[in-house]
Amino acid sequence: MPGAATPCGSTGSIRNCSTAPASAASIPYLDFSENARFPILGGLLQRRGGTARHDAVAWGLARGADRLGVDIIQNCEVTGFEREGDRITAVQTSRGTIAAGRVGIAVAGNTSRVAGMAGLELPIESHVLQAFVSEPLKPLIDGVVTFGAGHFYISQSDKGGLVLGGDLDFYNSYAQRGNLPIVENVMAIGCAMMPNVRRVRILRSWGGIMDMSMDGSPIISKTPIDNLYLNAGWCYGGFKATPGSGWVFAHTIAEDRPHAFNEALSLDRFATGHLLDEGGKGPTPKLH
């Protein structure tokens, strides 16, 4: 339903959301006029939702892993795999060869490239997703505002900058830069929804690489190679799902079988035709 509200994405459960009429009193900066480009008919409100600083979360997870004895090697590029039959025996890196009994791939936008080194061809495409940050402003948005009709989102950082973005660039690329039509589209949607930001200056933008699965759902699975495991295909999302997906991925690697929670997220669903249809769009691929 077209509309704007804070998203119901923090827990992934509709039980923790409430339907509520969007009102000019709660989100007065949106265009509620009769002639609005995107008429606001209603929305979902997640009162427990919010934003998190991505790099700080990554630091916290890294410190926790380090305390548990995990070796974190930075600036260490994977350059290939050593393989004997249907098993990976070692990972070749820019800092030497690392022998391994079991190997997990969780490299987001570089999934196809790294998996290709092991001889796997995956049902994944890599696309650029741009994001933008404005100059600092006084407090304006106290949550996240998003809507599906234009795939637009906007929030405000602790430093006051508006953080916003929209759709994919929709061409395959590993380049972490975007194209101008998407920039224009995101800014036009933002100005239409929030007329008061029309004169705000954009300070910087960047592009992240999304590993887009063909049915829009992630892959947390064993692979045809005996001791190689895959966590990929998170499309637009992934950050909020990191703790849960990491937990079931660790289970899959340790037990050599999927957890009940990720059993349906198998790689072989693309071979058998049992695709996940969470978007309600049918089995046609590339509808991301």
Q: What is the DSSP letter of 127?
A: E
Q: 74 and 147: one domain?
A: no
Q: Where are the alpha helices (DSSP H) in 167-241?
A: 180-193
Task: Determine the Cα–Cα distance for residues 241 and 45; give it in Å rounded to an integer.
Answer: 19
pLDDT value, residue 284: 61
Average pLDDT over residues 104-109: 94
Average pLDDT over residues 132-137: 96
Does a structural domain hold residue 2? Answer: no
Q: 83 and 151: one domain?
A: no
Does a structural domain hold residue 195? Answer: yes
Contact 64, 228 (CB under 8 A): no
Q: How confident is the model at residue 87 (pLDDT cuts 50, 70, 90)?
A: very high
pLDDT value, residue 4: 39
pLDDT value, residue 258: 97
pLDDT value, residue 153: 92
Sequence-distant (≥ 6) Cβ neighbours of residue 167 within 8 angstroms: 129, 150, 151, 182, 185, 186
Q: How many CA atoms lie within 13 A of 39 on its CB side?
A: 4
Q: 42 and 134: one domain?
A: yes
> Is 2 a residue whose pLDDT tops 80?
no
Residue length of the chain: 288
Which regions of the chain does DSSP assign to beta strands (E)?
18-20, 43-45, 78-84, 87-93, 96-99, 103-105, 124-136, 144-147, 152-156, 161-172, 202-213, 219-222, 228-232
Q: 187 and 238: one domain?
A: no
Does a structural domain hold residue 3? Answer: no
Into how many domains does the chain fold? 2
pLDDT value, residue 140: 93
The pLDDT tens digits for 21-66 are 456 778 889 999 989 998 888 888 888 877 788 889 989 999 999 9
Q: 137 and 43: one domain?
A: yes
Domain-ending residue, one of 179, 213, 247: 213
Candidate from 8-17, 76-85, 92-101 with smallest mean pLDDT: 8-17
Q: 36 and 177: one domain?
A: yes
Does a structural domain hold residue 280? Answer: no
pLDDT value, residue 216: 87
pLDDT value, residue 142: 85
Q: 71 and 170: one domain?
A: no
Q: 119 and 246: one domain?
A: yes
Q: 112 and 225: one domain?
A: yes
| % the chain with pLDDT above 70 | 88
> Is 93 a residue whose pLDDT tops 90?
yes
Task: Determine the Cα–Cα distance for residues 101 and 115; give it in Å rounded to an integer.
Answer: 17
Q: 234 and 114: one domain?
A: yes
Does a structural domain hold residue 155? Answer: yes
Does a structural domain hold residue 37? Answer: yes
Task: Determine the Cα–Cα distance for residues 118 and 171; give it in Å rounded to an integer.
Answer: 25
**3-state SS assignment for residue 260:** helix
Q: Is 64 exposed, middle or buried (0-12, 13-18, 19+ CB in 10 A)?
A: exposed
Task: Determine the Cα–Cα distance for residues 126 and 273; give it in Å rounded to an integer.
Answer: 22
The pLDDT tens digits for 229-262 are 999 999 887 788 888 999 999 999 999 999 999 9
Q: Positive or negative, the Cα torsion across 216, 221, 226, 227?
A: positive
Q: Which two tokens stand for residue 187?
A: 């800014």
Domain-ending residue, one of 213, 237, 262: 213
- List the CATH number of the domain containing 38: 3.30.9.10
The pLDDT tens digits for 14-28 are 334 444 445 677 888
Q: What is the DSSP letter of 188?
A: H
- List the CATH number of the domain containing 230: 3.50.50.60
Specify the pairing of strand 228-232 against strand 103-105. Answer: parallel
Domain-ending residue, one of 172, 195, 213: 213
Contact 240, 146 (CB under 8 A): no
Q: Is 34 exposed, middle or buried (0-12, 13-18, 19+ CB in 10 A)?
A: exposed
Edge-first strand order for the sheet with 103-105 is 103-105, 228-232, 219-222
Q: 172 and 67: one domain?
A: no
Global pTM?
0.83
Does a structural domain hold residue 226? Answer: yes
Does a structural domain hold residue 1? Answer: no
- The widest CA-to-CA distance across the chain, in whole angstroms, is 66
Q: 93 and 115: one domain?
A: yes
Candidate from 7-11, 26-30, 160-164 with smallest mean pLDDT: 7-11
pLDDT value, residue 41: 84
Greater model confidence, 25 or 102: 102
Q: How confident is the model at residue 13 (pLDDT cuts 50, 70, 90)?
A: very low
Domain that holds residue 191: 14-50+126-213
Task: Determine the Cα–Cα distance for residues 224 and 86; give it in Å rounded to an integer.
Answer: 8
